[in-house]
C-alpha cells in the first residue's frame, strides 16, 4: 500500500514545485511498494536512481525560488536538501555494490521522513515567502530537466511523443511512466504482456515501444518479429535486466534499434529515446 496518495493537502500552490513533488511522491511510493524479491530490487535501483536525478533539478529549482524571494531560512533549507541528497546517494552506492544487501526497511524509513518531514513541513514553510512572487515563479518554472538535456542532444518534442511500455512487472511500468511524464511525455500507454502490446499496436502504432525482453508468454524477439509483420514505423527499444550484449545480435536481427539496461536512470531512458528517434 502506498505511503500517501497525492492530494490537494500536499500542494503548496506553486505549480512547478507541486508538479515536481507529485513526481517525487510517486517515486517515494514506488520504493515503498517494492519488496525484497530480486526483480523488485531491479525496480528499486531504478527508482533510487531516478529519485536522485530528479531531485537535483527539483532542489535547484526550490533553492533558486527561495533565493529570488529572499526566504530567510534558505541556508537551513539548503542543508536539509544536502543531507537528503547525501543519504539517497549512499543508498544508491550500496545498491550498485550489492543489490541483495540493500537495507530496504531503512530506505523506506528515510523516504517516509523525506515525505512527511521535508515536503510536508519544511517545504510548506517557504510557501508564504514565495507564493505571490510571480516573476520568481516564472523564472524557476522555466528550469527543467529536459531543458538541460536539450543543450547536449538533438531536440525531441517530448509533448508530442507517443510511447508504449511493455513489461510484466507493474512497478517497473509505473516507474517508466512516472519518469516519462516527468520529462513531458503525455501519450504513454502500457501493456503487461507482448500479446497485449501487439493488440494495442495493431490499432495504432506509436513512436517508441519500450519492451521488456524476457516475459512469460512471448519473448521480446518474437514480439519484435510479429510487430514488423504489420508495423514498420514503431521504434523498438529492448529493456533488459540482463547484460545487453547477451541479446544484441538476436534483438537487432528482430528489428530492435535501441537498448536500455535495467536498472534504468532518467538520463539513460531519455538518451535511448533521443538516440532511436535520430536514427
Ligand atoms: Fe525542499
Q: 54 C-alpha to center of ligand 1: Å?
A: 13
Within a domain: 3? no
Q: By residue range, what is the domain housing residue 209?
A: 158-277
Under DSSP, is residue 135 helix (H, G, I), strand (E, B) or coil?
Answer: helix
The span from the CA of 199 to the CA of 218, in Å, is 13
Q: Is residue 153 a part of any domain in this protein?
A: no
Residue 126, domain CATH: 1.20.120.50
Dihedral angle computed from the Cα positions of residues 32, 28, 188 and 244, in that order, rounded to the nearest 10 degrees: -70
Q: What is the CATH number of the domain that holds 201?
A: 3.40.50.2300
Cα 136 to averaged position of ligand 1 atoms, centre (Å) = 16
Q: How far apart are CA 45 and CA 1, in angstroms?
A: 19
Peptide bond into 172 cis (omega under 30): no
Q: How far apart are the CA of 188 and the centre of ligand 1, in A?
A: 29
User: How far apart are the CA of 76 and the centre of ligand 1, in A?
Assistant: 10
Instruction: Give me ligand 1 centre to Cα 61, in Å.
Output: 9
pLDDT tens digits for 21-35?
998 888 888 877 776
Q: Is the residue at 148 inside a domain?
A: no
Query: Are residues 71 and 117 located together in one domain of the fold?
Result: yes
Ligand 1 mean position to 198 CA, how many Å?
A: 42
Distance 23 CA to ligand 1 centre (A): 14
Per-residue pLDDT band for 65 (boundaries 50, 70, 90) equals very high
One domain for residues 138 and 173 = no
pLDDT digits (tens, 9 = 90+) for 199-244: 999 999 999 999 998 888 888 888 999 999 999 899 999 998 777 6
77 alpha carbon to ligand 1 midpoint, in Å? 6
> Is 135 found in the same domain as 25?
yes
- Give strand pairing partners of 256: 236
Are residues 139 and 168 part of one domain? no
Q: In this structure, is residue 174 part of a structural domain? A: yes
Do 205 and 106 share a structural domain? no
Amino acid at each position: 500500500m502506498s505511503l500517501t496518495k497525492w492530494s490537494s493537502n500536499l500542494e503548496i500552490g506553486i505549480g512547478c514545485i507541486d508538479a515536481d513533488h507529485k513526481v517525487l511522491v510517486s517515486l517515494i511510493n514506488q520504493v515503498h511498494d517494492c519488496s525484497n524479491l530480486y526483480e523488485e530490487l531491479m525496480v528499486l535501483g531504478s527508482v533510487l536512481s531516478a529519485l536522485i536525478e530528479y531531485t537535483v533539478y527539483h532542489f535547484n529549482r526550490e533553492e533558486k525560488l527561495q533565493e529570488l524571494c529572499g526566504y530567510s531560512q534558505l541556508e537551513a533549507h539548503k542543508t536539509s536538501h544536502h543531507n537528503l541528497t547525501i543519504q539517497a546517494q549512499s543508498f544508491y552506492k550500496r545498491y550498485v555494490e550489492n543489490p541483495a544487501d540493500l537495507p530496504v526497511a531503512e530506505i523506506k524509513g528515510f523516504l517516509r521522513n523525506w515525505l512527511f518531514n521535508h515536503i510536508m513541513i519544511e517545504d510548506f514553510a517557504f510557501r508564504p515567502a514565495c507564493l505571490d512572487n510571480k516573476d520568481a515563479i516564472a523564472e524557476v518554472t522555466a528550469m527543467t530537466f529536459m531543458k538541460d538535456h536539450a543543450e547536449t542532444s538533438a531536440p525531441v518534442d517530448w509533448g508530442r511523443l507517443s510511447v508504449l511500455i511493455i513489461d510484466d512487472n507493474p512497478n517497473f511500468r509505473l516507474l517508466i511512466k512516472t519518469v516519462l511524464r516527468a520529462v513531458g511525455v503525455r501519450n504513454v500507454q502500457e501493456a503487461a504482456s507482448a500479446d497485449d502490446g501487439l493488440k494495442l499496436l495493431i490499432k495504432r502504432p506509436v513512436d517508441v515501444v519500450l519492451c521488456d525482453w524476457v516475459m512469460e508468454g512471448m519473448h521480446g524477439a518474437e514480439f519484435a518479429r510479429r510487430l514488423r509483420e504489420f508495423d514498420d514505423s514503431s521504434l523498438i527499444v529492448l529493456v533488459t535486466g540482463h547484460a545487453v550484449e547477451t541479446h544484441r545480435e538476436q534483438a537487432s536481427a528482430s528489428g530492435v534499434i535501441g537498448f536500455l539496461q535495467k536498472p534504468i536512470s532518467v538520463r539513460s531512458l531519455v538518451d535511448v529515446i533521443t538516440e532511436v528517434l535520430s536514427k
